[in-house]
Amino acid sequence: MNSHTLDPLDRQLVHALQIDGRAPFSHVAEVLDVSDQTVARRYRKLRDSGAMRVLGLPDAGRFGHIEWLVRVQCTPDASSSVATALAKRDDTSWVSLTAGGTEIVCVTRAPHRADGESLLLQKLPRTPRVVAVTAHYILHTYSGGPTGWHGKAQALTARQAKLLSPRLPPPPPRREHVEMRDGDAGLFAALAADGRAGYPELAAFTGWSESTVKRRLEYLRDTRALFFDVEIDSVLLGYEAQVMLWLAVPPTELVNVAAGLAGHPEVVFAAATTGPTNLVAIVVCRDIDSFYDYLTTRIGALEAVSRVETAPVIGAVKRAGRLLPSTRHGNPSLTGR
């Protein structure tokens, strides 16, 4: 599927699923004023072609876990093999090549009580071609992941978007943790493969009854321990350039700058981190010229930003928990993580 085959209805369907990944097709069809069969057929075409998928993911913080953002510097001849080794680990996501193919960036999660170094850093491929490794806590996510991408596919009216928004209770305080249950691992594994998997399939993965699966899924979603995302080739939505930004901001200005950054439609992910730069963002733009305009106008206007490092994303090896075929490494995703 190429960029010319994503017509207005496809874009509306993508936007609808970005709002609610498990919205019934009957409801989506009613809002879009088309038939249920049309929505289902369009969805299957996008999914089966590999252009798009819906996935359900855990919010690490709700389970008392922490997330690390790891940067691995390699010699050019080693980056591909090291990235693949990292991508094969169950505890990594968003493994990508940046900065001319000599740097790998990935996200990994670990329980708070665990020694993060022993979980990942000591298990990196042992080769002198790994030049340097830095790891930073993700302290707070402002955009991407559970918060969603503000830009979306920009194909629905405000009224349509409101009608499709799931009716969830107010989120609980961030400090409240959700306990993992036996069967949750299977549930999340199934939802990471297909966020729209039916209750019978989820029951088979967990060993629970369908009614138990339904109650657990609703509880995890209501407590924001589970969120749904749409993984789609960004080129289909007209975005050719994906760039990571590493920004240094005074702590007193961090919240204001991060909140403002998260509101930019170009930003798919923004989070506060530890380290020499304390704010990281992933930006998608139409092309390099558009990114230059964004950098010099939108980022340049943020007076509190004292330092900016930019790193083009040149290939995605793993997104949101899935190892990608090598033929698609050059197609970045709009998924925040």
**Distance in angstroms (rounded) separating the CA atoms of residues 226 and 298:** 32
**Distance in angstroms (rounded) separating the CA atoms of residues 310 and 291:** 11
- Return the pLDDT at 197: 96
Query: Considering only CA atoms, which of 187, 203, 222, 169 is closest in space to residue 62?
Result: 222
**Distance in angstroms (rounded) separating the CA atoms of residues 307 and 294:** 16
- Return the pLDDT at 328: 41
List, for residues 256-309, the tens digit of each pLDDT value.
Answer: 999 999 889 899 999 999 999 999 999 999 999 999 999 999 999 998 999 999
Q: Which residues in the chain come in under a pLDDT of 50?
A: 1-4, 116-118, 326-337
C-beta separation of 91 from 314 below 8 A: no
Joined tokens for residue 6 = 């994503």
- Return the pLDDT at 316: 81
- Return the pLDDT at 226: 93
Note the residue count of the chain. 337
| Residue pointed to by tokens 């609980």 | 172
- Return the pLDDT at 3: 44
